[in-house]
Chain A
């Protein structure tokens, strides 16, 4: 019985609601006269086309040919969708967040240094050294480092000048710094390709991944204690090497596209190049900060390998024991009579 009463009440309510709704959408009086739009009120205010049709016509052929765009606007082609998407990615994501990655890495490393301190050689310096990198390898490394630093600084100024430098130093300083950075970046860009090739030739040997690298990963490189074996290069160094080579290749290809835009006809190649170039640069800069940290203040004795080409034997035993055994023919764990003091 209660169910029947409920059904009847709901039906009545729905009928009433329907009639009210129907009345409320009906235009009052002659506010809209579909027959004569010129004499009575703002009829046909939305036109005969939908928004979709208007915008479809507006963007026309969606030009992507650079030559066409440079020559001037073409009839029926008023905007580029890919350009709008590129602008949004660049402004809303890259420029907004890119700078925080290097800053974040610096903050993490500072915190790590405060907690862990400098990684000392457990047995102390032995005073005996072994050769690690020859002169050509060291020159190739520092050549790349010099070019990389110049490109990183100039690139960051170009990318983050407007959101960072402009509010801090004003438009005049930003204009001068950006102009200078652009010239410097374009000039040193080709040298990066040379440096990359040189690095690849000089360091490819020993940088292929091996089974021993898995142990290194499981022990997190020994950062939180415990010994990890490795050959001349550990997993972290190998990963950094391949990051530099592979991302460097992307940076080189996109950099060439941006420096010589007339080589390409399709605007989307240049748009994609700027995005990839910026993302790759931020990745390399962020990781390079970690590389610089571990090579200088983070680990005792590591800088000598690239400055002098030699490392302390105890450093080699602790961080690259398999490599130490390979080049010296001695055991990395065996304590000699001289070391034991007897």
Chain B
């Protein structure tokens, strides 16, 4: 079995299984914990608060927006760029088509890929640089944050290095980092991709029940 066959075959299968089961286990676990019973009479709707909490956090508060604009622009740039790369990059669509299901949308053209990748990289670098430059961010960051950032960077970086698709070794190295990333994901703060709506919703529901506006 060659390097590429291993990382795209059994290792990918194991990594994808760990990713799916691990992420489900974490999300279901959080939901099962539930919320502390509030015996006070409700002054508003928890459900509406849950939705409002999620939507409201997409926009920064006016007083913070000016001070944190780099963080906001970097954060949105990275996440949207990464999402576009994962879902719309032509090699990804070919891979998903061949192994999982027929992707119904067309791939990004090359210039679109370059723009999405540049925005994603710029955002990721800005976020990480802020993490090491800001005294508060530096204080609250631990190894998990740095490993998550660097693994994501390496996945994106090796993917872009393999863009020419002229050497199997480069593609296999990208897949190796994808497999490692998938295995690490459920056990790290990368899980925020699936849990952010729960935490935002929890805050929103609490506020909503109390009749407070967000």
B29 in contact (CB, < 8 A):
no
**Chain A residues with CB below 8 A from B114, complex form:** 186-187, 190
Are B121 and A179 neighbours in the complex by a CB distance under 8 Å? no
- Taking the complex as formed, is A86 at the interface, i.e. its CB lies under 8 A from any CB of chain B? no
Bound-complex Cα distance A176 to B164 (A): 10
Q: How far is the CB of A116 from chain B (nearest CB, A)?
A: 29
Q: Does A249 contact B (CB under 8 A)?
A: no
Assuming A188-B121, A190-B118, is B133 touching A138 (CB within 8 A)?
yes
Pair A308/B135 contact, Cβ less than 8 Å: yes
Contact assessment for B70 and A139 in the assembled complex, using a CB-CB cutoff below 8 Å: yes
The B interface is mostly helix, strand or loop, or mixed, namely: helix
B37 at the interface (CB under 8 A from A): no
The reply to whether B164 and A139 contact each other, CB–CB distance below 8 Å, is no
- A280-321 interface bits toward B, Cβ cutoff 8 Å, 1 = contact, 0 = none: 000000000000000000000000001111000000000000
Per DSSP, chain A at the interface is: helix
**In chain B, residues 126-160, which have Cβ atoms closer than 8 Å to a Cβ of chain A?**
126, 129-130, 132-135, 157, 160
Tell me whether A179 and B170 are in contact (CB under 8 A).
yes
Asked whether A142 lies within 8 Å of B133 as measured between CB atoms, the reply is yes
Query: Contact mask A180-194 → B, CB, 8 Å, 1/0?
Result: 111110111011001
Q: Pick the contact of A183: B125, B133, B161 (CB < 8 A).
A: B161
Q: Which of A135, A175, A191 has the most CB of B within 10 A?
A: A135
Whether B166 pairs with A179 at a CB distance below 8 angstroms is yes
CB-based contact B170/A180 at 8 Å: yes
**Contact indicator A139/B162 (Cβ below 8 Å):** no
A183 touching B118, Cβ below 8 Å: no
Docked-complex contact A184 and B160, CB < 8 angstroms: yes
**CB-CB < 8 A to B164: which residues of A?**
179, 182-183
How distant is the Cα of A190 from the Cα of B159 in the complex, in angstroms? 18
Interface size bracket, B side: 20 to 34
Q: How far is the CB of B24 from chain A (nearest CB, A)?
A: 34
Bound-state Cα–Cα, A308 to B135, Å: 7
Residues of A contacting B96 in the complex (Cβ-Cβ under 8 angstroms): none
Q: In this assembly, does B196 line the interface, its C-beta being within 8 Å of a C-beta of chain A?
A: no
Whether B93 is near chain A, meaning CB under 8 Å from some CB there, is no
A140-187 with Cβ < 8 A to chain B: 142-143, 146-147, 175-176, 179-184, 186-187
**Residues of chain B lying within 8 A (CB to CB) of residue A194:** 122
Chain A residues near B125 (CB-CB < 8 A): 143, 146-147
5 tightest CB-CB pairs across the interface, nearest first?
A180-B161, A142-B129, A138-B133, A183-B163, A176-B167
A-B contact pairs, 18 of them (CB 8 A): A135-B70, A135-B133, A138-B129, A139-B126, A139-B129, A139-B130, A142-B133, A143-B125, A176-B167, A180-B167, A181-B161, A182-B164, A183-B162, A183-B164, A184-B157, A190-B114, A191-B121, A307-B133
Interface residues of B (CB under 8 A from A): 70, 114, 117-118, 121-122, 125-126, 129-130, 132-135, 157, 160-164, 166-167, 169-170
Q: Which residues of A contact B (CB under 8 A)?
A: 135-136, 138-139, 142-143, 146-147, 175-176, 179-184, 186-188, 190-191, 194, 306-309
Known: A135-B130, A139-B126, A179-B164; 11 extra A-B contacts, CB below 8 A, are: A135-B70, A138-B133, A139-B133, A142-B132, A180-B170, A183-B161, A187-B117, A187-B163, A191-B122, A307-B132, A309-B135
